Structure 1
Amino acid sequence: MFEYFKKSIARKKARRQFQEYPHVIDTFLLEEEGSVSFANWKNPLVNAKVITQGEINFFKKFIPKGSLCIDIGTNIGDTTVPMALAAGKEGTTLGFDPNPHVFKILEINVSLNKDKTNIIPLPYAITKDEGEFYYSSSEASFGNGGISNEIVEDQGAFQLSTKIKGITLEKYLKANHPTLLSKLSFIKVDVEGADKEVIKSIADLIKEFKPVLVAECFPKSTPKERAELYQIVSDFNYELYYFSDFHENAEIIKIEDARDMNKWKTFNFYSLPVGKQV
């Protein structure tokens, strides 16, 4: 009981008062990848990550060895690392997150598992137009958050003291990784309710290279916003699928039309070009 109240007080403090939190390196022994390490952030509002073979196998369905995959909204790397393990040392995984408090933990995770992964961390938001933006969070500890602009007006009461940089993904890739574009297999987007705007900003990449797309339907999204998200993705000639978890045995349900986007309060979906098999 004492431990419960201690954790509860720590969570309340993290929501209201900023402080730096350390990390701890956890190691997991997996059936295929062997020993895998992960830096867990000791922020009381962030659940400790457990890397499993089932999660890596989920990503292996979509990410071939040696391909390029992109994680937009990496946080500390909880999906970035499993994605990178699927792509392998010979592949390339780009992880974007402008939040400096999670980015420092991401950089530690990038330094681990070097014999199995090739991750490039990038401290930027992906935006329609390049520029500088305010970054806000509902938590003083900045465990999550997002940019505030004319599209997403309010991400929370706590704001970084300096602006973050937003870049256009297509311009960045063509300038820095032009030879990898033909290997683009997978893009994950999780940006606290701004997924629709990010997907619109990378529309030309999706149309040209047909990567598998994973995104979140945010809990605060209205039925209209959910319908718009569905339409944007389906207009790429993609089919959408709800999945219950990042696990190879997750429940999969095809999203037949925009109304299905309201069946769950919050969920992740993956989408594939029509006719593509996994």
Structure 2
Amino acid sequence: MVDLRVPGLSRSIKLQVHGPHDRCISRQLIEQGIWEPYETQLLLGLLKPGDVFVDVGANIGYFTVLAAERVGSSGKVFAFEPAPDNFALLLANVRDNGFNDQVEALAAGLGSESVEARLHLSEDNLGDHQLFATEQARHSVPVSLLCGAQYLATRLSRIDMLKVDTQGFEFQVIEGLLPLLLSLAQPPQILIELTPLSLRQAGSSGRALIELLAKLQQPWWIVDHIEHQLVASDAAALAQWCDNVDACAGDAGFMNILVGPGLV
């Protein structure tokens, strides 16, 4: 059990983690009490009481629980996580922090359609499970995928913030959600990982993801982890960056981007 050390929380939050064998998320939470400090700051700055937050690739529930704390009893959080071990901790963390009434957690991933799939597991980075096979041999487990628009359309009328971190499956997630996103009175703020190599391995591309998100006609921002700021960008520049990364074989360069008005 880890006590989070996140500035700006109105109450104490504890998380159950995997342990130090999870060399990324769990280890950093054990050592520092916070994960991705600037993304955490963005989430807490963008969400307000009563908001609706959708967490795709929720892992052990770090952002899910923080969002539940911020949106309060009048808000709602939907969390999707297909990995069984991660989902067990997600459920425990929602329960232990008293957020059962605010959080709907699903043991499933999101995709372009509702199907059965296989999740290829990383042994030492439990946030790097993948919904596609590569040359690297991995143990895999069966999981369910849901079409986001079909699942959520009858369960919400607004999304204020959407976080997508699915290790290369982001295109399929957005493709499945897009009919719903386009139907909303106001598109959500979207915090999403952009990794051209993983997107290509999953059967799409960085450029394809950018072109899909551009249909929402929203502002673009690069999330600058070093300077802790949002850097204005546009679809053309981000698509070209993806092409440049793709031109270098094996380049695993990535960035997080925010699609939406940003902090105001």
Asked whether the two chains share a fold, i.e. TM above 0.5, the reply is: yes
Instruction: Give the length in aligned residue pairs.
Output: 242
**CA shift digits 1:186-221 (9 cap, x unpaired):** 111110011112111111121122111111012625
Alpha-carbon distance change, 66 to 116 in structure 1, aligned in 2, over 3 angstroms: farther
Instruction: Quote the residue 2:188 is aligned against.
Output: 211
**Paired residue secondary structure (1:81):** helix
How far does residue 69 in structure 1 lie from its aligned partner after superposition?
0.8
Corresponding position of 2:118: 134
Distance 1:72 1:141 in 2: 18
1:137·1:157 contact (CA, 8 Å) conserved in 2?
Answer: no
Greater Cα offset, 211-220 or 94-103? 211-220
Distance 1:221 1:147 in 2: 10
Of the three residues 198, 212, 235, the one matched with 1:232 is 212
Q: Are the counterparts in 2 of residues 139 and 156 from structure 1 also a CA contact under 8 Å?
A: no
How far the C-alpha of 1:165 sits from its partner, in A, is 0.8
What's the CA shift for 1:145? 0.9
Q: Which one-letter code corresponds to 2:190 in the other structure?
A: L
2-structure distance, mates of 1:222, 1:122: 23
User: In structure 2, what is the Cα distance between the partners aligned to 1:156 and 1:111?
Assistant: 36
CA offset digits 1:157-180 (Å, max 9, x no partner): 2233x41111112222234x2xxx
Seen in structure 2, the aligned counterparts of structure 1 residues 115 and 228 have a Cα distance that, compared at 3 Å, is: closer
| Cα-to-partner distance string for 1:24-61 (whole Å, 9 max, x where unaligned) | 34354855413221222204223232248976552233
Q: 1:88-99 counterparts in 2 under 5 A?
A: 88-99=72-83
CA distance in 2, matches of 1:105, 1:205: 29
Q: Report the alpha carbon displacement of residue 116 of structure 1 after superposing the two structures with TM.
A: 10
Task: Give the number of the structure whose alpha-carbon radius of gyration is greater.
Answer: 1
Structure with greater strand share of residues: 1
Contact 2:94 2:100 in 1 (8 A): no
> For residues 28-67 of structure 1, what are the structure 2 equivalents within 5 Å?
28=5, 31-44=8-21, 45-46=23-24, 47-49=27-29, 50-51=33-34, 57-67=41-51
Amino acid at match of 1:266: F
- For 1:128 and 1:205, the matched residues in 2 are separated by 12
CA contact (8 A) 1:187 1:212 kept: yes
In structure 2, distance between residues paired with 1:131 and 1:118: 27
CA distance in 2, matches of 1:222, 1:95: 22
TM-score w.r.t. length of structure 1: 0.75
Contact 1:215/1:268 (<8 A) preserved: yes
Deviation of residue 75 (structure 1)? Answer: 0.8
**TM-score, normalisation: structure 2:** 0.79
Q: CA deviation at 1:141?
A: 7.2
Percentage of pairs with the same residue: 20
Return closer, same or farther for 1:29/1:186 CA change in 2, 3 Å cut-off. closer
Partners in 2 of 1:31 and 1:253 — Cα distance?
Answer: 23
The amino acid across from 1:89 in the alignment is S
Distance 1:253 1:129, change over 3 A: same
Give the counterpart letter for 1:95 in structure 2: A
Distance change (3 Å), C-alpha of 1:29 and 1:144: closer
- Structure-2 residue corresponding to 1:118: 102
Q: Which 10-residue stretch deviates more, 56-65 or 45-54?
A: 45-54
Quick one: structure 1 residues 55 and 36, their matched pair in 2 at CA, closer, same or farther if it must change by over 3 Å? farther
**Contact 1:126/1:169, CA 8 A, preserved across alignment:** yes
Structure 2 unpaired stretches of 5+: 246-252
- What is the DSSP-based 3-state SS (H/G/I as helix, E as strand, rest coil) of the residue aligned with 2:183? helix
Change (3 A) 1:207 1:156: farther
**1: CA distance, partners of 2:82 / 2:48:** 27
Secondary structure at the aligned position of 2:205 is classed as helix
